[in-house]
Amino acid sequence: MSNRSLLVLPGDGIGPEAMAQVQRVIKWFGEKQSVGFDLEEDLVGGAAIDAHGTPVTDATMSKAMEVDAVLLGAVGGPKWDDLDFSIKPERGLLRLRKDMELFANLRPAMCFDALADASSLKRELVAGLDIMIVRELTGGTYFGEPRGITDLPNGERRGVNTQVYDTYEIVRVARAAFELAQKRGGKLCSVEKANVMESGVLWREEVTKLAPEYPDVELSHMYADNCAMQLVRAPKQFDVIVTDNLFGDLLSDCAAMLTGSLGMLPSASLGAADETGRRKAMYEPVHGSAPDISGKGLANPIAMTLSFAMALRYSYDLPEDADRLESAVQNVLANGYRTGDIMQPDMKQVGTEEMGDAILAALNEGA
């Protein structure tokens, strides 16, 4: 059996410092097993712009297409804000998602018990929360044509983006969500704005058509604005939510904050399975590059650590190791370790590297 291949793209801002800690975790798992990880590191985002003039090179793209999984840190920062839209750091991330056809973006929002008091909502609303948002990732407003900014004859300018979905795009992401609901709490809520958008009407019709194939899943529909409201009113009503690219972007940030910190949440972006069952996959924290704290050793490496746990589960078929890493993180929190973003009274405030130390210590204890 060949090694498990992994392309690591730390990116910008807090990406590299958080990734350095996760690399220690990866090494720990590699050494514990007969089959190690074959790890390669490369540039993406602003770092790639500085080195190569483009947010992701063709060479990096072809590596990403070959490996079992990509682990990405974060992209972007004020240094690159004024660049032309087509070469901004974010375009690197979007190209990876699009060219790898990672249409299903899984964003779990789980509330760790130790952090229930760090949420902006009352403890009883969020304790035990466990939602999975499945965001469509390769279509909709993010990629729809026509798009652009044009000059009008009257001297005005016009900005255009297009919300467009074909049936196959809706069906494949909805199937991924139904399948996840089957393995979880058996409930799926499909979210759009069918009251004002034709793309939402089509979305609702196509999802509804699939329901008879999944009789064990209870399907409901909700408008996106109501969903945002319900997420902060009574989030535990949800199990799996499936929605489009733009609504998914908004709703997943909203769900993330319920859990106490954006610094805690991982994500997995998956493509279709090939004949051998292998899926292209990229794992990344939901948080961004956090330029305000970057380079100071303050960043929380937990979201990226948990993203690697998702890789263990979905790309390497090592569910027990994924469980082991998730419990190590739980133990670290239960033992009172906190980075600044999740700091609470009477807890031990630590920096990025000390949090890495604590995670490794918890792994060694659990081994």
Residues that bind ligand IPM (CB under 6 A): 90, 93, 249
Enumerate the β-bridge partners of residue 160: 148
Distance CA 128, CA 309 (A): 20
Minimum distance of Mg ion from residue 104's CB (angstroms) = 16
CA distances from 109 to 18, 65, 133, 320, 356 (A): 20, 28, 8, 21, 22
Q: Which does 90 bind (CB under 5 to 8 A by kind): Mg ion, ligand IPM, none?
A: ligand IPM
Residue 232 in tokens: 């902060």
Q: Identify whether 225 is a catalytic site residue.
A: yes
What residue number has its CB nearest to Mg ion? 249
Comparing CB distances to ligand IPM, the nearer of 116 and 282 is: 282
Minimum distance of ligand IPM from residue 46's CB (angstroms) = 12
Minimum distance of ligand IPM from residue 339's CB (angstroms) = 21
Contacts (Cβ under 8 Å, ≥6 apart) of 364: none
Write 354-360 long-range contacts (CB < 8 A, 24+).
Answer: 355/21, 355/300, 355/301, 355/302, 356/20, 356/21, 356/22, 356/24, 356/25, 356/301, 358/332, 359/21, 359/25, 359/301, 359/302, 359/305, 359/328, 359/329, 359/332, 360/24, 360/25, 360/28
Buried b (16+ CB within 10 A) or exposed e, 65-100: eebbbbbbbbbbbeebeeeeeeebbebbbbbbbbbb
Minimum distance of ligand IPM from residue 248's CB (angstroms) = 8
Q: Which does 40 bind (CB under 5 to 8 A by kind): Mg ion, ligand IPM, none?
A: none
* CA 4 remoteness from chain centre: 21
Comparing CB distances to Mg ion, the nearer of 251 and 310 is: 251
Comparing CB distances to Mg ion, the nearer of 107 and 280 is: 107
Q: Which does 101 bind (CB under 5 to 8 A by kind): ligand IPM, Mg ion, none?
A: none
| List 38, 99, 253, 323, catalytic entry | 253
Q: Which does 170 bind (CB under 5 to 8 A by kind): Mg ion, ligand IPM, none?
A: none
Contacts (Cβ under 8 Å, ≥6 apart) of 125: 119, 234, 235, 236, 258
Comparing CB distances to ligand IPM, the nearer of 306 and 350 is: 306
Q: Which does 227 bind (CB under 5 to 8 A by kind): ligand IPM, Mg ion, none?
A: none
Comparing CB distances to Mg ion, the nearer of 17 and 249 is: 249
| List 193, 239, 316, 321, catalytic entry | 193
Enumerate the β-bridge partners of residue 192: 223
- Asked if residues 301 and 355 have their Cβ atoms less than 8 Å apart, the reply is yes
| List 50, 58, 113, 225, catalytic entry | 225
Q: Identify whether 193 is a catalytic site residue.
A: yes
Comparing CB distances to Mg ion, the nearer of 43 and 137 is: 137
Distance CA 44, CA 281 (A): 16
Is 333 in a helix, a strand, or coil?
helix
Minimum distance of ligand IPM from residue 39's CB (angstroms) = 23
Minimum distance of ligand IPM from residue 90's CB (angstroms) = 4
Q: Identify whether 253 is a catalytic site residue.
A: yes
Q: Which does 169 bind (CB under 5 to 8 A by kind): ligand IPM, Mg ion, none?
A: none
Among all chains, which residue has been given the structure tokens 């790639």? 48
What residue number has its CB nearest to ligand IPM? 90
Q: At what angle do helices 15-32 and 302-314 cross, to 10 degrees?
A: 40
Positions that interact with Mg ion (CB under 5 A): 249
| List 42, 142, 239, 280, catalytic entry | 142
Active-site residues: which are they? 142, 193, 225, 249, 253
